């Protein structure tokens, strides 16, 4: 089970028709945290003075941070802006009136992290300015700012952001990063999106003037794959738990409680705490008039790796008047969703979404939507106002990347739309059904290389493991179809490739492959290439023939007979012996019994054919006197 599956958060789907009243006007944020050397300048003029926790931040105020410094500012609706190190930021506009919030933050240098609450009014706007670019966001969290080259750069963990730069409008969503150079606007889908430290690493790559844009993209993607592997390892190893929030709260503050192992960093609403293993507690707050849904994404840090480890939501409302029917009984809620959010989808391979509605409203409609799928009207299919719907989710259906499901209710009490976030665990075998495919592309015994092609990777992560003679060589992470090449070891060896996805589905290839690079190979004949034998002449009537051992060795192939294809021996031009194949050649040293004749010269030609295609030749001449 994945790390995210340990959390159960109650979804908010109850939208009561309660008249909201709004405060008149609020034009300030509040400093929640200050680290290091942070100063402020009121209304962009006057002296720079140290910024203190609890201080108000108003329109035109400027905050400056130096090395290893940070300031977190909480806005009236519960949104937070974290001014990171070496940054200069002006809060150009900050207005909240009659439920409409307008905020403009001008990043003159450096970067900020942000966690913006969903805006309750369509007229509300939350904007960032970075040099010549502007960014509009609505309910999102991530990082934005200027690169070291002065170009806009932004990265989202969740939500949406529309960046206007170079007279172009570009929209990115959660999980994406936008990088601008002097020539190009690049939008990349990265696992690291929303992580400030990774964004700084991208910034460092941008400052390398020798790197082309193609090389830059490749370097970022390679770094992201490495980062994603570290994220997965961190998620699997950490065990954190956060208590679910109430469906509805009636006070402008909430207490978030949880536990994490010692040493784990936890961040909520810009505030970061390093766990000691004891219970954790956060208390975000906002203006009493800022009614609406409140979200609190929990980000965990393991070293320099960060990832979402919970998503807490609640609905802040005015205390409603109790409605009593003629019978004296409290009226039933018009509509609710009882399924926890985020909904973990794992073992069953399906999302089960449930709730209630007023069964007296028979003309109502109720639909559950997930991606391109829409359920039938669930009202006539439900008994006593309790509804449930199950949606199968897996890679083969192509819906395992969906981030949320939507419930739409239309009845006499009004129209309600509720969102249930999905935590789809791709490590579960019920979700991740397909397995990666491996195809052997071939080997080159001269260049000593072998190549395989890994495919079937779509929105998944696959680890390719390579072994030689049952000894691990390396592991490589892939998030898309690709080729993989390895260097072969000299000689003949057994190689195994295993491709395994997040759910453990795997494919395997086994091959016996040779590396026969033999540039220094030669035939060494014992006692040289010419040998004179002095023997007494045989008596009359006795054969003049005598036997001799012809000895030679193939050198320069590391004494590996597997590199030899064949050996041929000829006596005075006539072949007298030939060795071929692995069964007959079991050594690099040869000793052949040959026949010589007294008083004559006998010539032996030796030819060795290696598996890399080279032919080696040598002569041995015997003169018997």
Q: Count other C-beta atoms under 10 Å from residue 625's C-beta.
A: 11
Largest CA distance in the chain: 144
Topology of domain 522-624 in CATH is Immunoglobulin-like (2.60.40)
| Mean pLDDT confidence for 258-280 | 86
Positive/negative CA dihedral, 57, 60, 61, 65: positive
Distance, CA of 530 to CA of 603 (rounded, Å): 9
Q: How far apart are CA 186 and CA 176, in angstroms?
A: 10
Cα within 13 Å of Cα(79), Cβ side: 32
Alpha-carbon 232 to chain mean position: 8
Which residue reads 């990043």 in tokens?
Answer: 107
Residue with tokens 């034998």: 533
Q: Are 584 and 592 in contact (CB under 8 A)?
A: no
Tens of pLDDT, residue by residue over 293-310, are: 888 888 888 877 888 888
Hey, what CATH topology would domain 1-18+320-424 get? Immunoglobulin-like (2.60.40)
> Averaged over 136-158, what is the pLDDT?
87
Is the preceding omega at residue 190 within 30 degrees of 0, hence cis? no
In DSSP terms, 256 is beta-bridged to 282
The answer to whether the CB of 460 falls within 8 A of the CB of 479 is: yes
406-443 as b/e: b if 16+ CB within 10 A: ebebbbebeebebbbbbbbbbbbebbbeebbebeeeeb
Instruction: Name the residue ranges covered by the structural domains of the chain.
Output: 1-18+320-424, 437-515, 522-624
Neighbours of 236 (CB within 10 A): 12
Average pLDDT, rounded, for the chain: 84
Neighbours of 457 (CB within 10 A): 18
Q: Which of 8-17, 122-131, 219-228, 231-240 tops mean pLDDT?
A: 219-228
Distance, in Å, from the CA atom of 16 to the CA atom of 32, rounded to the nearest integer, reads: 32
pLDDT tens track for 425-452: 888 989 999 899 999 999 988 788 999 9
Q: Can you tell me the distance from the alpha carbon of 536 to that of 546, in angstroms, rounded to the nearest whole number?
A: 12
CA dihedral 472, 473, 478, 481 (to 10 degrees): -100
Name the 3-class secondary structure at 202: helix
pLDDT attached to residue 582: 67
Q: Indicate the pairing of strand 589-597 with strand 491-501.
A: unpaired
- pTM comes to 0.49
Give the pairing type, strands 100-109 and 125-130.
parallel
Please state which architecture CATH assigns to domain 437-515.
Sandwich (2.60)
Would you list the DSSP string of 314-379? EEE-PPPPPPB-TTSPBPPPSEEE-SBSSEEE-TTSEEEEEEEE-TT-TT-EEEEEETTEEPPP-S
What DSSP assignment string belongs to 52-114? Answer: -TT-EEETTEEEEE-TT-EEEEE-TTS-EEEE-SS-EEEEEEEEEETTEEEEEEEEEESEEEE
Of 75-84, 173-182, 303-312, 545-554, the range with the highest mean pLDDT is 545-554
Please give the Cα distance from 207 to 616 (Å, whole number). Answer: 55
User: Tell me: the pLDDT tens digits for 332-377?
Assistant: 456 888 888 888 898 889 999 998 888 888 788 999 999 999 999 9
Tell me which DSSP letter residue 463 carries: E
Higher pLDDT, 331 or 519: 519
SS3 305: strand
- Domains 1-18+320-424 and 437-515 are alike in CATH topology: yes
- How many angstroms separate the CA atoms of 24 and 267, rounded? 32
Stretch (H or E) spanning 196: helix 196-206
Residue 99 has pLDDT above 70, yes or no: no
Nearest to 493 by CA among 439, 450, 459: 450
Report the range of poorest mean pLDDT among 28-42, 72-86, 90-104, 493-507.
90-104
CA distance 518 to 524: 15
For 526-551, write each residue's pLDDT tens digit. 999 999 998 888 888 888 888 999 99
Picking from 280, 289, 247, the residue whose alpha carbon sits closest to that of residue 22 is 289
């Amino acid at each position: 089970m994945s790390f995210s599956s340990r959390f159960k958060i109650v979804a908010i789907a109850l939208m009561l028709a309660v008249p909201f009243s709004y405060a008149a006007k609020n034009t300030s944020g509040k400093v929640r945290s200050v680290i290091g050397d942070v100063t402020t300048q009121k209304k962009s003029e006057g002296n720079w003075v140290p910024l203190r926790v609890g201080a108000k931040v108003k329109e035109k105020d400027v905050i400056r941070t130096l090395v290893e410094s940070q300031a977190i500012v909480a806005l009236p609706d519960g949104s937070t802006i974290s001014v990171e190190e070496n940054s200069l930021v002006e809060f150009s506009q900050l207005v909240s009136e009659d439920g409409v919030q307008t905020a403009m933050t001008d990043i003159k240098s450096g970067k900020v992290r942000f966690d913006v609450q969903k805006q309750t009014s369509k007229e509300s706007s939350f904007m960032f300015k970075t040099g010549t670019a502007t960014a509009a966001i609505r309910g999102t969290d991530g990082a934005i700012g200027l690169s070291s080259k002065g170009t806009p750069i932004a990265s989202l963990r969740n939500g949406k952001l529309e960046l206007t730069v170079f007279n172009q409008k570009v929209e990115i969503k959660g999980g994406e990063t936008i990088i601008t150079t002097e020539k190009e606007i690049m939008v990349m889908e990265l696992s690291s999106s929303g992580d400030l430290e990774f964004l700084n690493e991208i910034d460092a790559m941008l400052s390398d003037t020798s790197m082309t844009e193609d090389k830059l993209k490749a370097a970022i993607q390679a770094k992201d794959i490495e980062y994603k592997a570290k994220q997965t390892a961190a998620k699997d190893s950490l065990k954190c738990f956060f208590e679910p929030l109430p469906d509805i709260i009636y006070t402008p503050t909430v207490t978030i409680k949880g536990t994490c192992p010692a040493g784990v960093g936890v961040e909520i609403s810009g505030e970061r705490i390093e766990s000691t293993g004891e219970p954790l507690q956060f208390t975000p707050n906002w203006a009493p008039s800022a009614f609406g849904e409140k979200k609190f994404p929990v980000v965990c840090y393991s070293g320099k790796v960060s990832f979402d480890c919970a998503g807490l939501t609640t609905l802040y409302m005015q205390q409603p008047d109790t409605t009593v029917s003629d019978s004296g009984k409290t009226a039933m809620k018009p509509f609710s969703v009882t399924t926890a959010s985020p909904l973990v989808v794992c073992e069953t391979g399906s999302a089960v979404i449930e709730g209630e509605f007023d069964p007296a409203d028979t003309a109502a409609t109720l639909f559950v939507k997930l991606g391109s799928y829409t359920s039938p009207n669930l009202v006539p299919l439900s008994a006593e106002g309790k509804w449930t719907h199950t949606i199968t989710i897996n890679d083969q259906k192509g819906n395992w990347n969906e981030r949320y499901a939507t419930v739409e209710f239309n009845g006499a009490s009004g129209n309600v739309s509720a969102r249930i976030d999905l935590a789809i665990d791709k490590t579960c075998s019920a979700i991740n059904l397909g397995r990666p495919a491996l195809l052997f592309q071939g080997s080159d015994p001269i260049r000593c290389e072998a190549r395989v092609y890994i495919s079937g990777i779509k929105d998944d992560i696959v680890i390719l493991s390579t072994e030689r003679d049952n000894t691990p060589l390396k592991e490589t992470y892939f998030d898309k179809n690709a080729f993989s090449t390895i260097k072969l070891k000299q000689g003949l060896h057994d190689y195994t490739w295993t491709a395994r996805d997040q759910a453990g589905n795997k494919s395997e290839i086994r091959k016996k492959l040779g590396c026969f690079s033999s540039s220094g190979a030669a035939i060494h004949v014992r006692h040289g290439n010419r040998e004179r034998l002095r023997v007494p002449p045989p008596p009359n009537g006795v054969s003049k023939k005598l036997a001799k051992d012809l000895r030679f060795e193939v050198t320069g192939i590391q004494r590996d007979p597997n590199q030899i294809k064949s050996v041929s021996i000829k006596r005075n031009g006539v072949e007298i012996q030939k060795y071929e194949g692995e069964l007959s050649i079991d050594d690099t040293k040869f000793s052949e019994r040959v026949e010589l004749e007294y008083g004559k010269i006998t010539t032996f030609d030796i030819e060795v054919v290696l598996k890399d295609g080279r032919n080696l030749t040598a002569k041995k001449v015997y003169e018997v006197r």
